[in-house]
Amino acid sequence: MDPKFRIAAITDEYSPDLDTALKPMVETGMKGAELRVLGGKNIMDLSDAELDGAIRKIQAAGLEIVSIASPILKCVLPNSPEIDSRFQHDIFASKHTFDDQPRLAERAFEIAGKTGARIIRVFSFWRTVEPDKCFDAVVNSLGELAEKASKHGVVIGLENEHACNISTAAESARVLKAVDHVNLKLVWDPANAYVSGEVPFPDGYRMLPVDRIAHVHAKDCHMEGHKPIWGPLGTRSVDWKGQIKALLDDGYKGWLSLETHWQGPNNNKFQASYISGWNLRGLAAA
C-alpha cells in the first residue's frame, strides 16, 4: 500500500556515509532526503565540491533534497539566564557559536540554492531555566531569518526542540503568532514536545496553525524521569496513528521525515533506522 504522504529521512540517521544511507531509503519507498551530517562533517562545513558530490549521489538515487537540517540558532544566547541542564545538547558535529550565526545563515542559503531544498531547519537557542526571558531575542532572530529567506525563495523551518527555548506546540504557536511571516513555518516534532512534558497529539497539535507546518519529523520514545528512552517509531508514547490521520484530514501537504534517534538493537543505528523507516512507511499508508 502506497504512503498517503511523501516520506523522507535525515540521511545520517542511517549512516554518515551517503551510499550506505541511500540504499535502504530507496528500498523503503522514500522520495526525499534531509542533509545534516555527511562523512562526519556537519552540512554547514562541507566544501562546494563535497556538496556537489552528495547532490549527484542523491539525484542518482531518485531522491529530492527537501531540507537543510542546519544547526542555526542551536547555540547559547549571550546574556541569557542559566542553561537548563536537564536536556542533552545534540550538536551533530556542529561546534558553532552565537558569533557564527550570520555566516551560517548565508551558507545555508547558498546550500539551499545549490541543492534545491525549500526548507532550512533552525532552532531557538539552547533552553534556559527562564525561556520566557529569551522570547524577544528568539522572535527577533527568526524574523530576521524569515526576511532574508524571502529573498531566496525558501522557508525557515523552526523545529520545536526539547533542548531549546521553543520546545512545545504551545511555545511554537506563540512564536508563529509573534512572527507572522510567510517565510517562517514550523518543523513539527511531536516527540520533542512529548519530551518537554506536553501531550503532542491531540493536545499540542490542536494549538498549531496547520497551514504553518512546513515539515514533520518522526521519532518515538517514552520517558524515565527527564530522560527520553527512544524506540522504534510507532511503538512508544506518541500517538503517531492519530497524528498522521489528523494531518491527512487537515490537508497537510508536506513530508513525514524520519529522525530515528533510537540506537537500535545491540546499538546498531543502521538497523534502528531500517526498522523505523519501514514503520514510517506503514504509518503513512494506513
pLDDT tens-digit map of 229-250: 999 999 999 999 999 999 999 9
List phi, psi (to 5°) of 128.
Answer: -105, 175
pTM: 0.97
Domain coordinates of the chain in residue numbers?
Answer: 6-285
> Which residue reads 496547520 in cell numbers?
210
Question: What's the whole-number mean pLDDT along residues 67-89?
Answer: 92
List phi, psi (to 5°) of 222.
Answer: -125, 170
Cα–Cα dist 116/137, whole Å = 30
pLDDT score at 91: 65
Contacts of residue 286, defined as CB under 8 A and 6 or more positions apart, other chains included, come to: 241, 244, 245
pLDDT in tens, 241-280: 999 999 999 999 999 999 999 999 999 999 999 999 999 9
Percentage above 70 pLDDT, the chain: 99
E strands in the chain? 6-10, 32-35, 37-38, 41-42, 64-72, 119-122, 155-159, 184-188, 213-218, 220-224, 227-231, 255-258
pLDDT score at 95: 76
Closest C-alpha to 4, from 208, 246, 207: 246
- Per CATH, the number for 6-285 is 3.20.20.150
Question: What's the whole-number mean pLDDT along residues 155-163?
Answer: 97
List phi, psi (to 5°) of 67.
Answer: -155, 145
Percentage above 90 pLDDT, the chain: 94
Query: Is the per-residue pLDDT at 281 higher than 70?
Result: yes
